[in-house]
Structures are given as structure tokens and as C-alpha cells.
């Protein structure tokens, strides 16, 4: 239960969120991830807060940092110091994967350009994450999530209406870039099994957000229609969104087929074949009328009772939970989405858990093989001595198997 990437060594030079999230994903899968941080300050996110957690024995830990750095070790290296650069060189010689999210060209200026890395370790897979791409007319721009959300069109699709652009409530551009990056690393490792050589995987916040435009992208590229923010209602499916109900409550429901629309109407005494409402295309054109019709029908029904009736009718529906409610929900807990770890200064803390589970099928059923034990995010430089001692030992050859 160590994970499918057991034996893979990842050197993580990234900071903030996109790169650290990619590294955490690889660590969740069993890779040994060594996080290289600046002496003294470490990853920028160690200082991002509040909230900070301040243990009785002094010091403070940023909950932002804790969110993106489980299953890692930490060593501090000054990449302008020749001795520390030599240590990094030895780490990279042994590594399977390098993660970096410097501005394009920075790693080369530090003496670790792609040509140097290829000579140092031909099997190395490098993930490079930038803000807007590593080339092109604006390839050198710094990447910050909210700026990328705006530049990549996501904010224009999010909000109560076209005049109310809103960012997504989490740094989704950073998170998606990390996810796409980890996905690219896994593909490159798979190809390395065939060719024996690593390669450079590049993605950006811009690419990651454009990569999830989905139907909003093809609405423009194919149909010439520019999507706009429409609040909590789907632009192409009606009814699909948030509806107010009795007692000041609200529910969300989705009628993704005509059969579901008819079930909804039957349950609440509405005419599914009324003029202008019989097909999804007609309902999209009459969205405001459908919303008013349903909210009138729901006006005297409290949210919990309404959800029960929707469930009985077979109409997909749900509530809008606060974050604290999500982590107390028995369904969340049943999926392993909260894990307890032992932190060096905080003691036992609960963290959001990995989103993947693994099962080994057999003739008699499935056996879960999901990793159960997780490392807490490291304190700054906590593993420096151990990593240095390991680097002082002779490095095994690649063909000898795992190098961790």
C-alpha cells in the first residue's frame, strides 16, 4: 500500500501552488518527493495567511502551505551557493522527475538548463509550469492565478451576469496546471519505459484554464457564440441550477434529459408539454420563465422536504454545503477525503485527503490497495540532514531499480 509510484524520486523546486500541488499528487501516489526550499524563508506559502496555526511551543504554520505539501521531505539549498548547487546536482543525477515553476529562463541562468539536465541525467523527466507559456509573444509574463483566470476567459463565464465577472473561489488555474502537469509527468514516465529517455513536459496556467473551457470553448470555435456569465444556471441545459424554496432555503437540481423534466413536472403538478417548455432547446430560450415557474412551485416547501421529494421522483438534486459541513459529511469521510497526519510541531492534524482510490480486482472481489499512511507537510529543512546523508552514499545505477 505504498502507492503505484513507489521507488520514483521527485525533486520539487517549485513554490506557491501549481507546482507544489503537482508534487503532492505524485507524493500521494507513492513517489519520494524532496522539496527544495530557500534557506530562512522557504516556500512563499509558509508566510501566506492568516489563518496560521501557532502551536504552544512557538512558531507558526500556514494552513495554505499545509494544503499543498503533504507526503514530501524538505531540504534547504541556496542555489547561488556552489556547495548547495553541487548537492542539487547530485539530487538531479539520481532523480526520476524534476518539478520547476520559475519564470522561463531562470533555471538555465542558475546553471540547470535543459541541455545541462539532459547530459546530467538523460532519464530525467522535467515538468516546467509557467504563467502563460514558455514561448510566444507573452511567454515571459509572471503567472498569478487570478490574473490567469481573467486573461484565460474563466472570469467572464463566472458570476451573477455578464457585468459581474468573478474569480472561482479557489485558485483553480494553479490547481489545474498542477493536475495537468502531474498527468504529463506520468505519461512521460510511461514513455521512458519504452525509450529509456526522459523529456521536458511544459504547461501553464493559461493552458490549464483553456484546457477546461469544454463546451464554452467549442461554442465559440465552432458556433461563433461567446459565452457569458449566467449566475447559477447552466447555459445549455434548463432546468439546471440553484432554485430558491421555502424558509429562505435553496436547492440545486439538474434535468439533463427530457425524461427527468417530465418526472419533475409530474411531482409538482406542472405541464411538461406546455408551449415553449416541451424541449430543452425551448426551455433554454425561456430560462427566466422556467426558473419563475419552479420557484413558485417550491415557494412553500422547506429545503430538506423539497430534496426528499426530488429524490423520490428520481430528479438529481443537492444542497449547497459550507466547507465545515463538507468535512463533517459521512460521505466525504467514507471516501478517504480526510486523513490524519502527525505534524512535527502541530501534533495530529486532519488534512484534505487524496482524491484517488485504488483496488485490486480478483475472482472473489476487490481488495483496496489505496495508500493509508501519509506524511505531514514538512517543517522547513526538516529532512536536510537525512537527505545529505543519503546523497553521501554511492548512487545506484538506473538499471539497478529504484533509487530512493
Strand partners, 75: 36
> Among candidates 208, 229, 224, 215, which has minimal Cα distance to 155?
229
| R_g of the chain, CA atoms, integer Å | 25
Among 6, 174, 324, 397, the one annotated catalytic = 174
Quote the CA–CA distance of 264 and 106 in Å, as a whole number: 57
In sequence order, what are the residues at sequence separation of 6 or more whose Cβ sits closer than 8 angstroms to the Cβ of residue 309? Answer: 267, 268, 301
Rounded Cα gap, residues 116 and 31, in angstroms: 24
Relative to beta strand 200-204, strand 125-130 is parallel
**What is the DSSP track for 62-127?**
EHHHHTT-SS-EEEE--TTSHHHHHHHHHHHHH-SEEEE-PPTTHHHHTT--HHHHHHH-TT-EEE
Q: Which CA distances in Å does 348 have to 30, 73, 205, 323, 380?
A: 21, 18, 34, 20, 18
Cell of 315: 430528479
Q: Which of 169, 146, 166 is nearest to 326 (CA)?
A: 169
C-alpha cell at 145: 492565478
- Residue 27 has which C-alpha cell? 507524493
Catalytic residue status for 78: no
Distance, in Å, from the CA atom of 259 to the CA atom of 278, rounded to the nearest integer, reads 11
Distances (CA, A) of 232 to 21, 271, 367: 28, 24, 40
Instruction: Name the 3-class secondary structure at 270.
Output: coil
Count the alpha carbons within 13 Å of 271 in the hemisphere toward its beta carbon. Answer: 5
**Residues designated as active site:** 174
Amino acid at each position: 500500500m505504498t502507492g503505484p509510484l513507489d521507488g520514483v524520486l521527485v525533486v520539487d523546486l517549485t513554490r506557491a501552488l501549481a507546482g507544489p500541488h503537482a508534487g503532492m499528487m505524485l507524493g500521494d501516489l507513492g513517489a519520494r518527493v524532496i522539496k527544495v526550499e530557500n534557506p530562512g524563508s522557504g516556500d512563499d506559502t509558509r508566510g501566506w495567511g492568516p489563518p496560521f496555526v501557532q502551536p504552544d511551543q512557538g512558531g507558526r504554520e500556514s494552513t495554505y502551505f499545509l494544503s499543498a505539501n503533504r507526503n514530501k521531505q524538505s531540504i534547504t539549498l541556496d542555489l547561488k551557493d556552489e556547495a548547495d548547487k553541487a548537492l542539487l546536482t547530485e539530487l538531479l543525477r539520481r532523480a526520476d522527475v524534476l518539478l520547476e515553476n520559475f519564470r522561463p529562463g531562470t533555471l538555465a541562468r542558475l546553471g540547470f538548463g535543459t541541455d545541462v539536465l539532459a547530459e546530467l541525467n538523460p532519464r530525467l523527466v522535467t515538468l516546467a509550469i509557467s504563467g502563460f507559456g514558455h514561448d510566444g509573444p507573452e511567454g515571459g509574463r509572471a503567472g498569478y492565478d487570478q490574473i490567469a483566470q481573467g486573461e484565460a476567459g474563466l472570469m467572464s463565464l463566472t458570476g451573477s451576469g455578464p457585468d459581474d465577472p468573478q474569480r472561482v473561489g479557489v485558485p483553480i488555474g494553479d490547481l489545474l496546471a498542477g493536475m495537468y502537469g502531474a498527468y504529463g509527468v506520468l505519461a512521460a514516465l510511461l514513455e521512458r519505459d519504452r525509450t529509456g529517455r526522459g523529456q521536458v513536459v511544459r504547461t501553464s496556467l493559461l493552458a490549464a484554464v483553456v484546457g477546461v473551457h469544454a463546451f464554452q470553448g467549442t461554442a465559440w470555435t465552432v458556433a461563433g457564440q461567446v459565452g457569458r456569465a449566467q449566475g447559477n444556471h447552466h447555459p445549455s441545459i434548463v432546468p439546471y441550477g440553484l432554485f430558491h424554496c421555502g424558509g429562505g432555503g435553496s436547492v440545486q437540481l439538474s434535468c439533463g434529459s427530457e425524461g427527468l423534466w417530465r418526472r419533475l413536472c409530474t411531482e409538482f403538478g406542472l405541464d411538461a408539454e406546455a408551449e415553449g417548455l416541451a424541449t430543452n432547446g425551448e426551455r433554454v430560450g425561456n430560462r427566466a420563465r422556467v426558473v419563475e415557474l419552479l420557484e413558485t412551485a417550491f415557494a412553500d416547501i422547506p429545503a430538506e422536504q423539497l430534496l426528499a421529494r426530488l429524490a423520490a421522483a428520481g430528479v438529481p438534486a443537492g444542497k449547497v454545503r459550507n466547507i465545515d459541513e463538507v468535512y463533517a459529511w459521512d460521505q466525504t469521510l467514507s471516501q478517504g477525503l480526510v486523513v490524519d497526519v502527525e505534524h512535527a510541531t502541530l501534533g495530529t492534524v486532519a488534512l484534505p485527503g487524496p482524491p484517488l482510490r485504488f483496488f485490486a480486482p480478483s475472482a472473489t472481489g476487490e481488495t483496496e490497495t489505496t495508500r493509508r499512511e501519509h506524511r505531514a507537510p514538512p517543517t522547513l529543512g526538516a529532512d536536510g540532514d537525512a537527505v545529505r546523508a543519503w546523497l553521501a552514499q554511492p548512487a545506484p545505477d538506473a538499471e539497478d531499480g529504484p533509487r530512493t
